[in-house]
Amino acid sequence: MSQRTFSIIKPDAVRKGHTAAILAKIQEAGFKVVAIKRMSISKAQAEGFYYVHAERPFFPELTEFMSSGPIFPMVLEKENAIADLRKLMGATNPAQAEEGTIRKEFAASIGENAIHGSDAEETAAFEIGYFFAGIELK
Ligand code: GDP
């Protein structure tokens, strides 16, 4: 059964001009792009998105980074979308990411790591709703 997940092309990748190459990889892997937009978010909006990480030492750095420039939030669909996108993204730290993954190819560091992907069904539902209205998701 097809499943939806939520992803963000992060500010580092947008700044370096990797958006199209990352999207191509995602589409080649069989994902349908259900919704996508370019936008910038405030630090407070980034804090709301990453609230589960609020107690982590890297929270200020993470939310500063995510509000540092334009991003492309998107909703992706395919069978097993959540797990398959996580596999395609690669490890959080690009130094540990496998060959062929998006982070191996495009990420610079554990913080500036090119792409976000939901890690579970409940988080996907929250994250999709944080960025998109139902009317945008037909
Ligand atoms: P993900 O699910 O692979 O994105 O990783 P996590 O959920 O563990 O962390 C969320 C995001 O926080 C990561 O994608 C990074 O952008 C950032 N992050 C995680 N660990 C660190 C860290 O040690 N330092 C910094 N600066 N950012 C981090």
Encode pLDDT of 27-46 as tens digits. Answer: 999 999 999 999 999 999 99
53 is catalytic: no
Overall average pLDDT of the 121-126 stretch: 98
Contact (Cβ atoms closer than 8 angstroms) between residue 23 and residue 33: yes
Ligand 1 binding site (Cβ under 6 Å of any ligand atom):
58, 61-62, 92, 110-111, 113, 116, 119
What is the distance in A from the centroid of ligand 1 to the CA of 129?
A: 21
pLDDT at 82 over 90: yes
Task: Say what the pLDDT of residue 138 is.
Answer: 86
Number of H helices and number of E strands within the chain?
7, 4
Burial class of residue 76 (count of CB atoms within 10 Å of its CB; 0-12, 13-18, 19+): buried
| Mean of per-residue pLDDT scores for the chain | 98
User: Confidence class of residue 1 from pLDDT cuts 50, 70 and 90?
Assistant: confident
